[in-house]
Protein backbone atom coordinates (compact mmCIF):
# COMPACT_ATOMS: atom_id res chain seq x y z
CA UNK A 1 0.00 0.00 0.00
CA UNK A 2 1.30 3.42 -0.94
CA UNK A 3 1.23 6.15 1.70
CA UNK A 4 0.03 9.17 -0.27
CA UNK A 5 0.09 11.34 2.86
CA UNK A 6 3.87 11.58 2.84
CA UNK A 7 5.02 14.67 0.97
CA UNK A 8 8.01 15.82 3.00
CA UNK A 9 10.79 13.64 4.39
CA UNK A 10 13.59 14.67 6.74
CA UNK A 11 16.93 12.85 7.08
CA UNK A 12 19.49 13.15 9.87
CA UNK A 13 22.56 11.44 11.29
CA UNK A 14 22.97 10.79 15.00
CA UNK A 15 25.46 9.27 17.43
CA UNK A 16 28.94 8.36 16.28
CA UNK A 17 29.86 9.19 12.69
CA UNK A 18 30.62 6.40 10.23
CA UNK A 19 32.12 6.42 6.71
CA UNK A 20 29.29 6.03 4.20
CA UNK A 21 26.76 8.23 5.98
CA UNK A 22 27.04 10.81 3.19
CA UNK A 23 26.28 8.17 0.58
CA UNK A 24 23.15 7.26 2.57
CA UNK A 25 22.07 10.92 2.78
CA UNK A 26 22.58 11.25 -0.97
CA UNK A 27 20.50 8.15 -1.68
CA UNK A 28 17.66 9.29 0.58
CA UNK A 29 17.59 12.75 -1.00
CA UNK A 30 17.76 11.60 -4.61
CA UNK A 31 15.19 8.83 -4.15
CA UNK A 32 12.80 11.27 -2.46
CA UNK A 33 13.23 13.85 -5.22
CA UNK A 34 12.71 11.14 -7.85
CA UNK A 35 9.33 10.42 -6.24
CA UNK A 36 8.42 14.15 -6.24
CA UNK A 37 8.84 14.46 -2.49
CA UNK A 38 10.44 17.37 -0.68
CA UNK A 39 13.44 16.29 1.37
CA UNK A 40 14.97 18.14 4.30
CA UNK A 41 18.22 17.71 6.16
CA UNK A 42 18.33 18.07 9.95
CA UNK A 43 21.75 19.24 11.17
CA UNK A 44 23.33 17.86 14.36
CA UNK A 45 20.94 14.97 14.93
CA UNK A 46 18.23 15.18 17.58
CA UNK A 47 19.75 18.41 18.92
CA UNK A 48 19.16 20.02 15.55
CA UNK A 49 15.62 18.67 15.47
CA UNK A 50 14.94 20.36 18.83
CA UNK A 51 16.45 23.67 17.66
CA UNK A 52 14.73 23.60 14.29
CA UNK A 53 18.02 23.43 12.38
CA UNK A 54 16.23 22.07 9.32
CA UNK A 55 16.78 23.02 5.67
CA UNK A 56 15.63 21.73 2.33
CA UNK A 57 17.97 19.55 0.30
CA UNK A 58 18.15 19.85 -3.47
CA UNK A 59 20.06 17.66 -5.91
CA UNK A 60 23.06 20.00 -5.87
CA UNK A 61 23.26 19.78 -2.07
CA UNK A 62 24.02 16.06 -2.19
CA UNK A 63 26.34 16.09 -5.19
CA UNK A 64 30.02 15.24 -4.75
CA UNK A 65 29.59 13.97 -1.19
CA UNK A 66 29.54 10.18 -1.32
CA UNK A 67 33.33 9.89 -1.34
CA UNK A 68 33.64 12.02 1.81
CA UNK A 69 33.96 10.57 5.30
CA UNK A 70 31.95 11.83 8.25
CA UNK A 71 28.54 13.40 7.63
CA UNK A 72 27.62 16.68 5.92
CA UNK A 73 24.65 16.96 8.29
CA UNK A 74 26.95 16.70 11.33
CA UNK A 75 26.02 14.58 14.30
CA UNK A 76 25.55 14.86 18.05
CA UNK A 77 24.27 13.03 21.10
CA UNK A 78 21.35 14.87 22.67
CA UNK A 79 20.57 14.65 26.39
CA UNK A 80 17.65 17.06 25.94
CA UNK A 81 15.95 14.70 23.48
CA UNK A 82 15.88 12.10 26.25
CA UNK A 83 13.33 14.26 28.06
CA UNK A 84 9.61 14.65 27.31
CA UNK A 85 10.11 18.41 27.06
CA UNK A 86 12.90 18.02 24.53
CA UNK A 87 10.85 15.73 22.34
CA UNK A 88 7.92 18.18 22.46
CA UNK A 89 10.25 20.86 21.08
CA UNK A 90 11.38 18.43 18.38
CA UNK A 91 7.86 17.61 17.19
CA UNK A 92 7.02 21.31 17.04
CA UNK A 93 10.08 21.88 14.82
CA UNK A 94 9.00 19.09 12.48
CA UNK A 95 5.45 20.45 12.33
CA UNK A 96 6.77 23.92 11.55
CA UNK A 97 8.39 22.46 8.41
CA UNK A 98 5.43 20.17 7.65
CA UNK A 99 7.66 17.09 7.92
CA UNK A 100 5.62 13.89 7.44
CA UNK A 101 8.32 11.25 8.06
CA UNK A 102 11.98 10.89 9.06
CA UNK A 103 14.97 8.76 8.13
CA UNK A 104 17.35 8.32 11.06
CA UNK A 105 20.91 7.17 10.31
CA UNK A 106 22.76 5.89 13.35
CA UNK A 107 23.06 3.12 15.90
CA UNK A 108 21.27 1.70 18.90
CA UNK A 109 20.78 5.04 20.67
CA UNK A 110 19.45 6.65 17.50
CA UNK A 111 16.91 3.87 17.01
CA UNK A 112 15.86 4.04 20.67
CA UNK A 113 15.17 7.76 20.34
CA UNK A 114 13.21 7.21 17.12
CA UNK A 115 11.11 4.44 18.70
CA UNK A 116 10.17 6.55 21.74
CA UNK A 117 9.44 9.58 19.54
CA UNK A 118 7.22 7.53 17.24
CA UNK A 119 5.28 6.10 20.20
CA UNK A 120 4.64 9.59 21.61
CA UNK A 121 3.90 11.51 18.42
CA UNK A 122 3.05 8.90 15.78
CA UNK A 123 5.30 10.28 13.06
CA UNK A 124 6.73 7.59 10.75
CA UNK A 125 10.42 6.86 11.30
CA UNK A 126 12.71 4.37 9.58
CA UNK A 127 16.31 3.78 10.62
CA UNK A 128 19.48 3.06 8.70
CA UNK A 129 22.27 1.19 10.56
CA UNK A 130 25.18 3.62 10.65
CA UNK A 131 27.92 2.45 13.01
CA UNK A 132 31.42 1.10 12.48
CA UNK A 133 30.86 -1.53 15.21
CA UNK A 134 28.57 -3.70 13.02
CA UNK A 135 26.64 -4.65 16.16
CA UNK A 136 23.03 -3.95 15.15
CA UNK A 137 20.57 -6.83 14.91
CA UNK A 138 18.71 -7.18 11.62
CA UNK A 139 21.51 -6.56 9.11
CA UNK A 140 24.60 -8.47 8.06
CA UNK A 141 26.67 -5.29 7.83
CA UNK A 142 26.31 -1.71 9.05
CA UNK A 143 27.35 1.45 7.24
CA UNK A 144 30.99 2.22 8.04
CA UNK A 145 32.11 -1.22 9.19
CA UNK A 146 33.93 -2.20 6.01
CA UNK A 147 35.85 1.08 5.91
CA UNK A 148 36.76 0.78 9.59
CA UNK A 149 38.21 -2.73 9.29
CA UNK A 150 40.16 -1.77 6.19
CA UNK A 151 41.58 1.25 8.02
CA UNK A 152 42.49 -0.92 11.01
CA UNK A 153 44.04 -3.54 8.73
CA UNK A 154 46.23 -0.97 6.99
CA UNK A 155 47.39 0.39 10.35
CA UNK A 156 48.22 -3.09 11.67
CA UNK A 157 50.11 -3.93 8.48
CA UNK A 158 52.33 -0.89 9.12
CA UNK A 159 52.82 -1.87 12.76
CA UNK A 160 53.79 -5.37 11.57
CA UNK A 161 56.80 -3.87 9.77
CA UNK A 162 58.27 -2.39 12.93
CA UNK A 163 57.31 -5.45 14.99
CA UNK A 164 59.22 -7.62 12.54
CA UNK A 165 62.22 -5.28 12.48
CA UNK A 166 62.59 -5.28 16.27
CA UNK A 167 61.24 -8.76 17.19
CA UNK A 168 58.51 -7.21 19.30
CA UNK A 169 55.16 -8.23 20.77
CA UNK A 170 52.54 -5.62 19.91
CA UNK A 171 49.17 -5.22 21.60
CA UNK A 172 47.02 -3.27 19.15
CA UNK A 173 43.74 -1.80 20.38
CA UNK A 174 40.83 -1.28 17.99
CA UNK A 175 37.37 0.13 18.60
CA UNK A 176 34.54 -1.97 19.97
CA UNK A 177 33.22 -1.22 23.46
CA UNK A 178 30.57 -3.93 23.34
CA UNK A 179 31.25 -5.65 20.03
CA UNK A 180 34.23 -7.62 18.76
CA UNK A 181 33.43 -7.46 15.05
CA UNK A 182 36.19 -4.98 14.22
CA UNK A 183 38.75 -6.83 16.34
CA UNK A 184 37.88 -10.27 14.95
CA UNK A 185 37.93 -9.23 11.30
CA UNK A 186 41.10 -7.21 11.77
CA UNK A 187 42.81 -10.15 13.47
CA UNK A 188 41.90 -12.53 10.64
CA UNK A 189 42.78 -10.00 7.94
CA UNK A 190 46.23 -9.30 9.40
CA UNK A 191 47.18 -12.80 10.53
CA UNK A 192 47.37 -11.75 14.19
CA UNK A 193 48.61 -14.20 16.81
CA UNK A 194 45.63 -13.68 19.09
CA UNK A 195 42.50 -11.59 19.54
CA UNK A 196 40.69 -10.40 22.68
CA UNK A 197 36.95 -9.75 22.32
CA UNK A 198 34.26 -8.23 24.58
CA UNK A 199 32.03 -11.27 23.99
CA UNK A 200 34.41 -13.74 25.61
CA UNK A 201 36.99 -13.90 28.39
CA UNK A 202 40.48 -14.87 27.25
CA UNK A 203 43.09 -16.19 29.64
CA UNK A 204 46.24 -14.09 29.78
CA UNK A 205 48.06 -17.18 31.06
CA UNK A 206 46.99 -19.08 27.94
CA UNK A 207 48.25 -16.20 25.80
CA UNK A 208 51.66 -16.31 27.51
CA UNK A 209 51.84 -20.08 27.02
CA UNK A 210 51.07 -19.68 23.32
CA UNK A 211 53.66 -16.91 22.99
CA UNK A 212 56.33 -19.10 24.58
CA UNK A 213 55.46 -22.00 22.26
CA UNK A 214 55.78 -19.59 19.33
CA UNK A 215 59.16 -18.42 20.64
CA UNK A 216 60.41 -22.02 20.69
CA UNK A 217 59.46 -22.22 17.00
CA UNK A 218 61.57 -19.06 16.51
CA UNK A 219 58.59 -16.88 15.67
CA UNK A 220 60.19 -13.45 15.75
CA UNK A 221 57.19 -11.22 16.45
CA UNK A 222 53.54 -11.37 17.50
CA UNK A 223 50.53 -9.15 16.99
CA UNK A 224 47.64 -9.30 19.48
CA UNK A 225 44.44 -7.46 18.53
CA UNK A 226 42.38 -6.15 21.46
CA UNK A 227 38.87 -4.70 21.31
CA UNK A 228 38.67 -1.63 23.57
CA UNK A 229 35.83 -3.21 25.58
CA UNK A 230 37.60 -6.51 26.17
CA UNK A 231 36.64 -7.96 29.57
CA UNK A 232 40.21 -8.93 30.48
CA UNK A 233 41.46 -5.36 30.05
CA UNK A 234 42.43 -2.97 27.29
CA UNK A 235 45.64 -3.22 25.29
CA UNK A 236 47.71 -1.25 27.80
CA UNK A 237 46.47 -3.31 30.75
CA UNK A 238 47.09 -6.62 29.00
CA UNK A 239 50.57 -5.54 27.94
CA UNK A 240 51.47 -4.65 31.54
CA UNK A 241 50.31 -8.06 32.79
CA UNK A 242 52.29 -9.92 30.11
CA UNK A 243 55.39 -7.78 30.74
CA UNK A 244 55.17 -8.58 34.44
CA UNK A 245 54.68 -12.32 34.01
CA UNK A 246 56.82 -12.80 30.91
CA UNK A 247 59.55 -10.13 30.89
CA UNK A 248 61.41 -11.92 28.11
CA UNK A 249 59.03 -10.36 25.58
CA UNK A 250 59.68 -6.87 24.23
CA UNK A 251 56.13 -5.57 24.65
CA UNK A 252 54.67 -2.49 22.96
CA UNK A 253 51.17 -0.99 22.72
CA UNK A 254 49.46 0.85 19.89
CA UNK A 255 45.92 2.29 20.01
CA UNK A 256 44.45 2.99 16.57
CA UNK A 257 41.56 5.02 18.01
CA UNK A 258 39.34 7.39 16.04
CA UNK A 259 41.37 6.90 12.89
CA UNK A 260 38.94 4.03 12.27
CA UNK A 261 35.97 6.38 11.99
CA UNK A 262 37.45 8.64 9.35
CA UNK A 263 38.49 8.48 5.74
CA UNK A 264 36.82 7.98 2.41
CA UNK A 265 34.34 5.08 2.55
CA UNK A 266 35.14 1.90 0.66
CA UNK A 267 33.11 0.89 -2.39
CA UNK A 268 31.34 -1.73 -0.27
CA UNK A 269 30.20 0.93 2.22
CA UNK A 270 29.10 3.30 -0.55
CA UNK A 271 27.00 0.60 -2.22
CA UNK A 272 25.54 -0.58 1.10
CA UNK A 273 24.64 2.96 2.16
CA UNK A 274 23.10 3.70 -1.25
CA UNK A 275 20.94 0.57 -1.16
CA UNK A 276 19.77 1.28 2.38
CA UNK A 277 19.04 4.96 1.70
CA UNK A 278 17.00 4.12 -1.39
CA UNK A 279 15.13 1.38 0.49
CA UNK A 280 14.32 3.75 3.37
CA UNK A 281 12.39 6.15 1.15
CA UNK A 282 10.64 3.29 -0.64
CA UNK A 283 9.64 1.84 2.74
CA UNK A 284 8.08 5.11 3.90
CA UNK A 285 6.22 5.53 0.61
CA UNK A 286 4.76 2.04 1.08
CA UNK A 287 3.55 2.70 4.58
CA UNK A 288 6.29 1.15 6.71
CA UNK A 289 7.31 2.84 9.94
CA UNK A 290 9.17 2.20 13.18
CA UNK A 291 11.55 -0.22 11.42
CA UNK A 292 15.28 -0.46 10.79
CA UNK A 293 16.30 -1.17 7.21
CA UNK A 294 18.99 -3.80 6.77
CA UNK A 295 20.46 -6.27 4.31
CA UNK A 296 20.53 -9.98 5.16
CA UNK A 297 21.83 -12.49 2.61
CA UNK A 298 21.89 -9.66 0.05
CA UNK A 299 18.16 -8.90 0.48
CA UNK A 300 16.58 -5.78 1.99
CA UNK A 301 14.97 -6.55 5.36
CA UNK A 302 12.81 -4.65 7.84
CA UNK A 303 13.34 -5.11 11.56
CA UNK A 304 11.13 -3.56 14.23
CA UNK A 305 13.01 -0.93 16.24
CA UNK A 306 12.23 -2.92 19.39
CA UNK A 307 14.04 -5.97 17.99
CA UNK A 308 16.92 -3.96 16.52
CA UNK A 309 17.45 -2.33 19.92
CA UNK A 310 17.03 -5.31 22.25
CA UNK A 311 18.25 -8.34 20.30
CA UNK A 312 21.92 -9.22 20.15
CA UNK A 313 23.88 -9.86 16.98
CA UNK A 314 26.30 -12.61 17.93
CA UNK A 315 29.75 -13.05 16.47
CA UNK A 316 30.21 -15.91 14.04
CA UNK A 317 31.69 -18.73 16.15
CA UNK A 318 33.16 -20.36 13.04
CA UNK A 319 35.21 -17.20 12.44
CA UNK A 320 36.40 -17.20 16.06
CA UNK A 321 37.48 -20.85 15.81
CA UNK A 322 39.12 -20.24 12.44
CA UNK A 323 41.06 -17.22 13.75
CA UNK A 324 42.51 -19.38 16.54
CA UNK A 325 43.47 -22.18 14.16
CA UNK A 326 45.11 -19.90 11.59
CA UNK A 327 47.11 -18.11 14.28
CA UNK A 328 49.21 -21.16 15.23
Profile the chain (328 residues) by mean pLDDT over runs of 10 residues: 81 96 98 98 97 97 97 94 96 97 96 96 97 96 98 95 85 94 97 93 89 80 92 94 93 94 97 98 96 98 96 94 90
Domain with CATH 3.40.50.460 in the chain: 146-261
Catalytic residue among 17, 47, 100, 133: 133
Q: In CATH terms, is domain 8-144+265-310 a member of 3.40.50.450?
A: yes
H helix count then E strand count, the chain:
11, 11
Residue 173's alpha-carbon distances to 123, 155, 208, in angstroms, are 41, 11, 18
pLDDT given at position 306: 95
Cβ neighbors of 185 (< 8 A, separation 6 or more) are: 149, 319
CA 199, CA 191: separation in Å to the nearest integer? 20
> What are residue 85's phi and psi, to 5 degrees?
-65, -40
CA 151, CA 147: separation in Å to the nearest integer? 6
pLDDT given at position 3: 62
CA 40, CA 54: separation in Å to the nearest integer? 6
Cβ neighbors of 269 (< 8 A, separation 6 or more) are: 19, 20, 23, 143, 144, 145, 146, 147
Our answer to whether residue 133 is catalytic in this structure is: yes
Write down the architecture of domain 146-261 according to CATH: 3-Layer(aba) Sandwich (3.40)
253 half-sphere exposure, CB direction, 13 A CA radius = 17
Q: CB of 57 within 8 A of CB of 30?
A: no
Query: How many C-beta atoms lie closer than 10 Å to residue 76's C-beta?
Result: 16
**DSSP state at residue 265:** P
**DSSP state at residue 266:** P
pLDDT given at position 120: 96
Torsion of CA 54, 55, 57, 58, to 10 degrees: 170
Q: CB of 128 within 8 A of CB of 143?
A: yes
Helix, strand, or coil (residue 106): strand
Residue 307's alpha-carbon distances to 46, 291, 313, in angstroms, are 22, 9, 11
pLDDT given at position 2: 62
Q: CB of 62 within 8 A of CB of 281?
A: no
Strands, sheet with 251-255, edge to edge from the N-terminal-most edge strand:
194-196, 222-227, 169-174, 251-255
pTM: 0.95
Distance, CA of 193 to chain centre: 25
Domain with CATH 3.40.50.450 in the chain: 8-144+265-310
CA 36, CA 147: separation in Å to the nearest integer? 33
Residue 123's alpha-carbon distances to 98, 99, 115, 155, 199, in angstroms, are 11, 9, 10, 43, 36
Amino acid sequence: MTNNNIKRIAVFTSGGDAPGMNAAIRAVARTAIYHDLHVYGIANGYDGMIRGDISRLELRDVGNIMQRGGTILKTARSKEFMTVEGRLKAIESLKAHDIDACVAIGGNGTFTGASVFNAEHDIPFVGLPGTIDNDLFGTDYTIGFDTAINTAMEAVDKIRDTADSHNRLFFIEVMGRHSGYIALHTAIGTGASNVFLPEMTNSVEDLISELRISAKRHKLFNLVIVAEGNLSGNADELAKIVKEKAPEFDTKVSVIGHLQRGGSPTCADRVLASRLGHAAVEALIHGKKNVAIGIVNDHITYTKFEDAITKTKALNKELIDMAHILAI
